[in-house]
Structure 1
């Protein structure tokens, strides 16, 4: 089995070569599938991520979630702890700025020390996912650390292009699988 680092490079390179019009089209389909999830009907607090490069685009989705009255949280990188912090976002224009690794992150003035322990749903990005919900991210370990400490009863939803659902990847003890994966073609429900 290939090492995670080799697989990460392979899938991120493949993703970087996808034309932007396909990224936008697939992202719209993924966002629509997500908004139809029955679990969203009872959710209040949703943690998303600010898309970058050729990730599934989330900015329109975040606007929609805010418009529909959800409490929206976004992560920021805490390099000192190899963990993510979160902050509630009310306005995508004024509450975000470029942070670590070039990712749009909550501005310092809205960051608190406390992470809500009652997040209902967490959207998790990844370079690829397996049908069992395991993923390869960017290699920092931030999401796995965050999910193991703070996901509690939250539904973990992976966002992934269909072509990056792969048969297997090396799984380590600290890896935390997601509960559902949304692609442009389907919603994969993981039996755990």
Structure 2
């Protein structure tokens, strides 16, 4: 999928050039939109991601979710099987350390053997998204593998800067679309 690789490179390069002020401002708007989702009323278990390098910032959002009493889960990379594991996070300072690819991951002591079957909501990062919910991730296939196995019942929410909402991308059989995309300007239901 040469075309996917080229698009990924293009969008990640473009994203790396956005100013930190814009990233912070847009991230606050996206997080605020997320907290207004009506789906949160009935949600308990939320899987987020630890933002890095110009991704939509999630640390303030995760603190807010913990403060509001949600059960927060974060992924860790299982390189040997191209999949994500998961851990329940109580404290962002003590429960995380730098892991694979420089991402903040749950410390080994709290990692769970099995992924809970009853995740209510999964926040999904990406380089770009289409309005129909498909995404180009970072090329490892970890999220698609995880979502195809563990996200049947969960609402999948993609976080995306408006400028990386694109008309179309090549879609493969294993790609799993998200149900909602949140940008700094709008909330889009994809299905």
Q: Which residue of 1 aligns with 2:121?
A: 121
- The answer for unaligned runs of 5 or more in structure 1 is none
Q: Distance in 2 between matches of 1:41 and 1:54?
A: 29
Q: Distance in 2 between matches of 1:96 and 1:148?
A: 25
Find runs of 4+ consecutive structure 1 residues off by over 6 angstroms: none
Superposed displacement of residue 152, structure 1: 1.8
Superposed displacement of residue 112, structure 1: 1.5
Number of residue pairs matched?
191
- Structure-to-structure mapping, 1:1-192, within 5 angstroms: 3-191=3-191
Q: Secondary structure at the match of 1:80?
A: helix
| Backbone CA RMSD of aligned residues | 0.9
TM-score computed with the length of structure 1 as normaliser: 0.98
Superposed displacement of residue 2, structure 1: 7.1
Q: Secondary structure at the match of 1:138?
A: coil
Q: Distance in 1 between matches of 2:90 and 2:97?
A: 14
Q: Distance in 2 between matches of 1:129 and 1:161?
A: 9
Q: Distance in 2 between matches of 1:116 and 1:136?
A: 26
Q: Distance in 2 between matches of 1:2 and 1:10?
A: 12
Q: Distance in 2 between matches of 1:74 and 1:21?
A: 26
Q: Secondary structure at the match of 2:114?
A: coil
Superposed displacement of residue 13, structure 1: 0.2
What do the CA deviations read for 1:73-103 (whole angstroms, capped 9, x no partner)? 0000000110000000000000000000000
TM-score computed with the length of structure 2 as normaliser: 0.99
Q: Distance in 2 between matches of 1:12 and 1:58?
A: 18
Q: Contact 1:96–1:105 (CA<8 Å) still a contact in 2?
A: yes
